């Protein structure tokens, strides 16, 4: 019980030393975008070589969130394409990147 009380005392000190950062009010003229909207817009702009839209989409979310969204989009796209082609996911991914087919691993 004493350990729990000490832990809460330490937490109170941390919170007191680091007050919350005020969040600026949301601009109603600027729409909110989620990670997946940003990723879709970013990839589309990249494919169409549209630098203005690319910069705009990159500003919608944090860079790490955008990277996550792009990764998720890529995974879903490769899976969908593999199902459509009735091919293994790895074969489709390697083919899209222009890589040779991988050899099946041999038992040691």
pLDDT tens string, the chain, 108 residues long: the values are 566 566 666 656 656 666 665 656 666 666 678 999 999 999 999 999 999 999 999 999 999 999 999 999 999 999 999 999 999 999 999 999 999 988 765 555
Burial 77-103 (b: 16+ CB within 10 A, else e): ebeeebeeeeeeeeebbebeeeeeeee
CB neighbourhood size of 33 (10 A): 16
pLDDT value at residue 38: 94
pTM, 2 dp: 0.65
Length of the chain measured in residues: 108
Helix/strand/coil (H/E/C) assignment for every residue in the chain? CHHHHHHHHHHHHHHHHCCCCCCCCCCCCCCCCCHHHHHHHHHHHHHCCCHHHHHHHHCCCCHHHHHHHHHHHHHHHHHHHHHHHCCCHHHHHHHHCCCCCCCCCCCC
Classify residue 46 as exposed, middle or buried by CB count within 10 Å of its CB (0-12, 13-18, 19+): middle
């Amino acid at each position: 019980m004493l350990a729990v009380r000490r832990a809460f005392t330490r937490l109170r000190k941390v919170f007191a030393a680091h007050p919350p950062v005020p969040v600026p009010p949301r601009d109603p003229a600027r729409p909110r975008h989620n990670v997946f909207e940003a990723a879709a817009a970013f990839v589309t702009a990249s494919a169409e070589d549209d630098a203005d839209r690319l910069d705009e989409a990159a500003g919608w979310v944090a860079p790490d969130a955008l990277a996550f969204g792009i990764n998720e989009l890529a995974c879903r796209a490769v899976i969908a394409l593999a199902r459509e082609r009735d091919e293994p996911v790895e074969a489709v991914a390697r083919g899209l990147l222009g890589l040779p087919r991988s050899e099946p691993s041999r038992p040691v």
